[in-house]
Structure 1
């Protein structure tokens, strides 16, 4: 069972969602020291990420981003901050990509 689960719907389509996921990997993933691996599929991509005390996946489709994260014992104390940062970063990325203010 995941410690952090996040689901964000969007109407960007798969190509734009892939672009945003890659941006997340390069920005937030690098900032947090995550090692990321992306597997592209016909109708969805799966980004696997990990670092000491954290591992998870992000499933990217043309309609949603689904993030599941398992936290190690020492990282559980940071769960509220991790949830807030994920929500903020994805909301901002999707809003900006949709032509809204970010």
Structure 2
């Protein structure tokens, strides 16, 4: 079971959600040094991220963002802070769209 699971519904549609997910991935790379790999699909996209004790994926659909992340030993000590930060980032991204 993932250490962090976040699910957000939205009304953006796939194109706008895709743009926001890519933006989130860029910010995660800049701020936290994770490496991101983005794969686009017809009905959903998958952004995989890894680095600095965090491995996970963000599933992007026309109506939802679903993040799952596994935390390494040191990162697990900051689970609440990491989860809170991701929730705030998603709030900001969805509000801007």
Q: TM-score, normalised by structure 1?
A: 0.91
Q: Which residue of 2 aligns with 1:33?
A: 33
Q: Aligned runs of 1:1-102 on 2, under 5 Å? A: 1-97=1-97
Q: Distance in 2 between matches of 1:56 and 1:36?
A: 10
Q: Distance in 2 between matches of 1:9 and 1:29?
A: 24
Q: Note the C-alpha offset of 1:41.
A: 0.6
Runs of 4+ in 1 over 2 A off after TM superposition: none
Look up the SS of the partner of 1:66 in the other structure.
Answer: strand
Q: Distance in 2 between matches of 1:29 and 1:67?
A: 16
Q: Note the C-alpha offset of 1:53.
A: 1.4
* RMSD (Å), alpha carbons: 0.8
Preserved contact between residue 29 and residue 35 of structure 2 (Cα < 8 Å): yes
Gaps of 5+ in 2: none
Q: Note the C-alpha offset of 1:74.
A: 1.2
Aligned length: 97
Q: Distance in 1 between matches of 2:73 and 2:56?
A: 15
